[in-house]
Amino acid sequence: MSLKGEIDGVMDGVVNLVELHDRIKGIAPLSALTRIAVAVYDPERDMLRTFIDSTMGECPLSHYVARLGDVPSLVALARAGGPRVVDDLKDYVGDSEHSRKLLDHGYRSSYTLPLMQGDALQGFLFFNAATPGFFTPERLSQLWPYAQIARLIAVLELDKIRLIQAAVKTVRQISYHRDEETGSHLERMSRYGRLIAEGLAEPYRLSDEYVEFLYRFSPLHDVGKVAIPDSILLKPGPLDAPEYALMQAHVDKGRQIIDMMLKEFGMGQVPHIDMLHNIVAYHHECWDGSGYPYGLSGDQIPLEARIAAVADVFDALTSNRPYKKAWSNAEAFAYLRDMRGSKFDPACVEAMLQRAAEVEEIQAHFAETIHD
Find the part of the chain contacting Fe ion (CB under 5 A) among 13-21, 236-244, 259-267, 305-313. 305-313
Nearer to Fe ion, 212 or 312 (CB): 312
Contact map string, positions 203 to 222, toward Fe ion, x by CB under 5 A: -------------------x
Shortest distance (Å) from residue 310 CB to Fe ion: 12
The answer to whether the CB of 349 falls within 8 A of the CB of 336 is: yes
Rounded to the nearest whole angstrom, what is the least distance from the CB of residue 283 to Fe ion in the complex? 6
| Cα distance between residue 298 and residue 295, in whole Å | 10
Burial (0-12, 13-18, 19+ Cβ within 10 Å), 323: exposed
Please work out the total of residues on this chain that contact Fe ion, with binding judged by CB under 5 A.
2
Closer residue to Fe ion (CB): 92 or 294: 294
Question: Whole-number minimum distance, CB 128 to Fe ion, in Å?
Answer: 40
CB of 116 or CB of 316, closer to Fe ion: 316
In one-letter notation, the amino acid at residue 267 is: M
Q: How many CA atoms lie within 13 A of 278 on its CB side?
A: 19
Residue among 309, 321, 179, 295 nearest 238 (CA):
321
Site for Fe ion contains 285 (CB under 5 A): no
Binding Fe ion by CB under 5 A: which of 40, 312, 313, 351? Answer: 312
Active site residues: 225
Positive or negative torsion for Cα 362, 364, 367, 372: positive
CB atoms within 10 A of CB 177: 11
Could you give the string, one character per residue 221-260, with x where binding to Fe ion holds by CB under 5 A and - elsewhere?
-x--------------------------------------
Residues of the shown chain interacting with Fe ion in the complex, contacts defined by CB under 5 A: 222, 312
